[in-house]
Structure 1
């Protein structure tokens, strides 16, 4: 009997080991915040125990540049949580494998690539905002800004922090939306004036708001949901929504063309459009791809959709390289060193 138990135990151990060895490792490039990845991987791997995700994470601009550099020798199998404007650039380079996920018809149409077989699907949207630290602003006698152009006033000189668009998706949505809202000539003039008041450009979209929450800067240009979460934790900041309108982008998912793990990547795409996945997105973003899923967020405006500009994602993607090059030539001198 004892030998039989030992034999059965050994067989069970061997079976477990073989199952673990058989699990497909899916390399997924992402710009999601580090605190989001654990819950997303846990949910997906629970539904797909035969697949293990290996995350490669960095800011949007860096991940996009890495994917473009690897075009002839792709290292990623899939992309999850990278700006749709970046995925449109990759699509234009024929780097994405079209796939229609099961259940994609349940998503809002604005969150799905318009081709009959989509090359990407959206997950959630994040929206620009200004994080205003009441305590620090009072010390420096800084009024609450009500418009983007308010930020060019001399009173704000040295008191503003915003993301670098070459490394941050939030920074790029800011710049591309200003160019769309004001027009190219006026948009660049606005940024010239804004630059005079900038203390530094960060390589993270959430960092300016975190800095404002910590009292490291009076005002950070960031995105609204991060600010709402910080307010809910007791940070002494208010959200300001400029009257000209708010830039926005959506996080999206896609399969990298050339992967030899297409079946596993398709399962990730199938999961990405599920109600369960959208519920997880709602823990980090107030606007998600599937209608009826998002729950109201404390300290987040219910009319946020009405404040969002009519964003031309195709224009932003087509002009991305030109815009980033111009921005870098003009303003990169105030960027933080890259880690």
Structure 2
């Protein structure tokens, strides 16, 4: 009996060692909000404790530039949570591994790359909006703007903050949507006029709304969920949906071509399209890829979804480099220092 017990313990110990040896580490590049990363890894590891995620996190523009710089010597295994426009650019460069995750057919089709098999799958969408601090606005005698064009009025000079599109995905969706809504010439004319009123450009898409919520600026161009979250926490904000329409983008996932950890990468990407994963995304985003999952978000603007423009992601991806270079040349003088 004792011998059997010893044998059993030895067997268990051997299995434990074997499992430890078999454990795989994945380097995952992301632009997901830093506060959410621990939760993402914990939820995934409930189903797959044998795969460890090593996060490399930064803003959208910086992660995109890093991936492009590493094109010939990839360091990431998976991209989990980066703008679809960035992934479309990488797709055109042959940097992504085509793969149809298990269950991908259950997602809303607009969240899935049109290639067969797809090279990326969407997770959630974030939508532009304006955060207006009603208390600070009243102190300054400012009325709440109702349109993008309103933000160019003289009374708003020095009272507007928006994200830098070179570092922020939210900033890029703003710029690319203005060029689509107002036309190439009209879009740059609009941004010239808006620039006159900008106090500074941030390197984070959520920061303008956070600053408006804190009363440091009356107007922050950001995204709607951040505004709704800040308002739910008690900030005196109006979340404004400009009448011309609003740009949007989606966070998406892909496998980096050539990863030596392909099976583990596929396991992770399979999990990212599950209903469980989309329920998790819904705690940070009001619009998710899995139909029927999203729950109503307190203070989320009721008319926002109908104001989302018919975004041309191919245009945004194919012209990204030229758009960012032109923006940099015209407006970067007001960008805040990078930390």
Q: For 2:20 and 2:216, how far apart are their aligned partners in 1?
A: 46
Q: For 2:336 and 2:164, how far apart are their aligned partners in 1?
A: 9
Q: For 1:6 and 1:35, how far apart are their aligned partners in 2?
A: 45
Q: Which runs of no fewer than 5 residues in structure 1 stay unpaired?
A: none
Q: For 2:319 and 2:165, how far apart are their aligned partners in 1?
A: 13
- Native 8 Å contact 1:149 1:190 kept in 2: yes
CA RMSD of aligned residues (A): 1.6
**Within the alignment, does 1:274 sit opposite 2:271 as a pair?**
no
Match of 2:98 in 1: 98
- More displaced stretch, 296-305 vs 149-158: 296-305
Match of 1:20 in 2: 20
Q: For 1:21 and 1:215, how far apart are their aligned partners in 2?
A: 52
**Within the alignment, does 1:320 sit opposite 2:320 as a pair?**
yes
- Secondary structure of the 1:268 match is helix
- Offset of 1:201 from its aligned partner? 0.4
Deviations along 1:3-40, whole A, 9 cap, x unmatched?
Answer: 99899767756654553343100111000001111111
Match of 1:84 in 2: 84
- Native 8 Å contact 2:130 2:239 kept in 1: yes
Deviations along 1:97-133, whole A, 9 cap, x unmatched?
Answer: 0000010000011000001100000000000000001
Aligned pairs, number: 339
Deviations along 1:137-184, whole A, 9 cap, x unmatched?
Answer: 111111100000000001000111100000000000000000000001
Match of 2:258 in 1: 258
Q: For residues 5 and 239 of structure 1, do their structure 2 counterparts lie closer, same or farther at Cα, with a shift above 3 Å needed?
A: same
Q: How does 1:60-71 map to 2 (within 5 A)?
A: 60-71=60-71
Q: Which runs of no fewer than 5 residues in structure 2 stay unpaired?
A: none
Q: For 1:254 and 1:184, how far apart are their aligned partners in 2?
A: 31
- Native 8 Å contact 2:239 2:301 kept in 1: no
- Native 8 Å contact 2:124 2:287 kept in 1: yes
Q: For 1:122 and 1:289, how far apart are their aligned partners in 2?
A: 6
- More displaced stretch, 266-275 vs 2-11: 2-11
- Native 8 Å contact 1:131 1:219 kept in 2: yes
Match of 1:189 in 2: 189
- Secondary structure of the 1:55 match is strand
Q: For residues 159 and 13 of structure 1, do their structure 2 counterparts lie closer, same or farther at Cα, with a shift above 3 Å needed?
A: farther
Q: For 1:97 and 1:312, how far apart are their aligned partners in 2?
A: 23
Deviations along 1:240-277, whole A, 9 cap, x unmatched?
Answer: 11000010000000000010111111111111110000
- Native 8 Å contact 1:28 1:78 kept in 2: yes
Q: For 2:124 and 2:25, how far apart are their aligned partners in 1?
A: 25
Q: How does 1:214-233 map to 2 (within 5 A)?
A: 214-233=214-233
Q: TM-score, normalised by structure 1?
A: 0.96
**Within the alignment, does 1:154 sit opposite 2:173 as a pair?**
no
- Native 8 Å contact 1:31 1:63 kept in 2: yes
- Native 8 Å contact 2:122 2:250 kept in 1: yes
Q: For 1:324 and 1:76, how far apart are their aligned partners in 2?
A: 24
Match of 1:284 in 2: 284
Q: For 1:133 and 1:302, how far apart are their aligned partners in 2?
A: 19
**Within the alignment, does 1:125 sit opposite 2:134 as a pair?**
no
